[in-house]
Copies of this chain bind each other. A is one copy, B any other.
Amino acid sequence: MEDKNIIYGRNSIIEALKSGRRNFNKIIISRSVRPDAKIDKIKEYAANAGIPFVFAEKEKFSKYNEYNHQGVIAFVSPIEYVELEDFIAQHKENTSLVLLDGVEDPHNIGAVIRTCVCAGIDGIILPSRRGALVSEIVEKTSAGAINHISIIKVNSPVSALQKLKDNNWWVIASDHHADNNYYDIDFLNMNFVLVMGAEHAGISRSILKLADFKIKIPMLTDFNSLNVSAAAGIIIYEYVRQKLTAGRKYEQK
């Protein structure tokens, strides 16, 4: 079981330590690793938190060679997923969620989570059937961001969205057939959940039916093929732009 919950790479381990949201069993470091500021930081955190910090021969790491571990691995408790009901109960106003529908590439999931944390998105919903849940690769590619945001696991994205709608949330779906461009809608003064689909399949029909707004990213050539993490960044940061410039609109009046 232990192997199922590892974090590898200095930055990811530091972020998980800083967050205080994971239980560390132990951290192992290869004897062949040259100490640096980040290793020192990991040692310091570990010492303060009473986490065993073990040196090991290089050979011990061979079974983890599929990971780009840089000679440091932590064995930790899994991410604690947040229940949707609890999240709804705790967030009443101007809350932002992102739901990934059928996105399977863990690198993309990790990159979207990073963007969500940078942009102050309140939570991310990952369906447990379609798409990938948080794996070691997601943890690594998120650069530890998964420790700084609520991750909500749901069995059915359709039921989850219906539940959110019943609780005064608006569903915004990214759909390249949409009439509206993403910057034509007002993201402010509401609870919203932005649904992003997989690159080729897009968002499933049953989800599109639930959408209160459908938005597209305009294409200036006939090459319609944004990477999902770029697409998510573009839309999510339009929300940030609106939020940070909202005062200016009032000034102009």
Contact = CB atoms under 8 A, between A and B. Distances in A.
A39 interface: no
* Interface size class, chain A: 35 or more
A122 to B, nearest CB: 11
Interface stretch (A20-28, A71-79, A84-92, A213-221): A213-221
A145 interface: yes
Interface stretch (A109-117, A129-137, A163-171): A109-117
Nearest to A225: B143
A181 interface: yes
Contact of A118 (B145, B220, B245): B220
Q: How many identical subunits does the complex contain?
A: 2
B183 A224 contact: no
Nearest to A111: B227
Contacts of A217: 118, 237
A232 B234 CA distance: 9
A232 B229 CA distance: 11
A229 to B, nearest CB: 5
A114 B219 CA distance: 11
Contact of A230 (B15, B115, B183, B238): B115
B244 A118 contact: no
The 7 closest A-B pairs by CB, nearest first: A120-B220, A230-B233, A234-B237, A111-B227, A117-B223, A233-B233, A233-B234
